[in-house]
């Protein structure tokens, strides 16, 4: 129970009310309304996270939704996600908006508008690690607004409304690792610009999609957190140890791939984000980078390329791919 503060009669506060000619009750109502407006969380983007999706991280956590069982592994990255979760709670978002490179749509950008996606997401290369039972809520109002804004900006955009379409593991992985309670509504976007078919020249389209996402969030008055479900360097081993979580087998694919990741992360740590307009294509050219799918560019464009540095919470490899957990807090 909170303290009760009494204002003496004839105090400075009551003198101000009398001078303003306001009845005491009216002044109290006005003060209460002003306090509520001041304390109400502001709408818009409050933070963005580079939130990579390796299925191994979910596997290592042994959540009840995932069928395979693990003995652990990849702790540094998982500890980075623990810090992300603490920060996410403090941001108190209304919605998580995620762009993932493995919901690949060859014609246009798709937005999941299914109110309650349910099913089992299976990682096709690692089904022995990731068979995840999901059930979550979509913020349909914001999803529809993103479709409208992206279409108005000239992007080929579609609303997915078919029940039962399986949600890809990169979307599920990033969302679980950021919010395993699944108690925040979601909007998920597909990757029309993906790392397997298009070049980094298509990153310009991701800036258009990011700006459209920002307009939709502003229009709907949401308090949103963005998740870019990208790994960094993406060359990986074609075999794994008998025990997948055997960390003695975990290392970067090559010095070149590792050095490219470090160069990008140093730019992120120094800021501002505008430098990444050049650094991301350079990183793509220097490494086999999953950032080519555009998730990171979409996130930074949606935030308006803010004049800030990113906070690198963790870096580690997963079957040799480079992965970083990074936070940008909106100014």
Could you report the per-residue pLDDT of 177-222, keeping only the tens digit for each? 999 999 999 999 999 965 455 555 589 999 999 999 999 999 999 9
Low-confidence ranges of the chain (pLDDT < 50): 1-40, 195
Rounded Cα distance between 202 and 172, Å, is 25
Residues 6+ apart with CB under 8 A from 272: 305, 306, 307, 308, 309
Q: Is 259 exposed, middle or buried (0-12, 13-18, 19+ CB in 10 A)?
A: middle
pLDDT recorded at residue 23: 37
Domains in the chain (CATH in brackets) are 18-31+47-329 (3.40.830.10)
What pTM value is reported for the model?
0.86
Contact 143, 117 (CB under 8 A): no
**In Å, what is the CA distance from 97 to each residue of 30, 223, 255?**
35, 10, 34
Contact 222, 316 (CB under 8 A): no
Tokens read off for 11: 């105090």
pLDDT recorded at residue 193: 67
pLDDT recorded at residue 194: 53
pLDDT recorded at residue 9: 34
Residues 6+ apart with CB under 8 A from 104: 190, 191, 194, 196
């Amino acid at each position: 129970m909170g303290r009760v503060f009494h204002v003496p009669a004839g105090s400075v506060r009551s003198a101000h009310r009398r001078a303003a000619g306001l009845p005491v009750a009216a002044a109290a109502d006005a003060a209460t309304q002003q306090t509520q407006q001041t304390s109400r969380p502001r709408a818009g983007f409050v933070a963005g996270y580079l939130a990579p999706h390796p299925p191994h991280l979910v596997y290592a956590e042994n959540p009840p939704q995932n069928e395979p069982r693990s003995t652990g592994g990849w702790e540094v990255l998982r500890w980075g996600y623990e810090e992300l979760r603490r920060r996410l709670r403090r941001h108190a978002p209304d919605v998580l908006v995620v762009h993932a490179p493995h919901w690949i749509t060859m014609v246009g950008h798709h937005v999941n508008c299914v109110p309650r996606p349910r099913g089992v997401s299976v990682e096709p290369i690692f089904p022995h690690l990731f068979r995840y039972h999901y059930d979550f809520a979509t913020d349909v109002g914001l999803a529809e607004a993103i479709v409208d804004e992206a279409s108005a900006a000239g992007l080929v955009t579609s609303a997915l409304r078919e029940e039962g379409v399986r949600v890809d593991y990169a979307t599920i992985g990033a969302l679980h690792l950021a919010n395993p309670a699944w108690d925040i509504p979601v909007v998920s976007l597909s990757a029309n610009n993906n790392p397997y078919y298009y070049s980094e020249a298509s990153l310009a389209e991701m800036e258009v999609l990011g700006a459209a996402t920002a307009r939709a969030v502003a229009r709907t008055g949401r308090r949103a957190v963005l998740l870019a479900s990208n790994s960094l360097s993406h060359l990986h081993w074609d075999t794994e140890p008998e025990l997948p979580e055997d960390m003695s087998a975990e290392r970067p694919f090559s010095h070149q791939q590792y050095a490219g990741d470090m160069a990008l992360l140093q730019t992120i740590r120094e800021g501002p984000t505008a430098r990444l307009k050049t650094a991301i294509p350079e990183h793509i050219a220097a490494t086999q980078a999953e950032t080519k799918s555009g998730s990171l560019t979409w996130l930074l464009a949606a935030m308006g390329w803010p004049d800030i540095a990113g906070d690198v919470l963790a870096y580690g490899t997963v079957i040799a791919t480079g992965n970083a957990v990074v936070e940008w807090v909106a100014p």
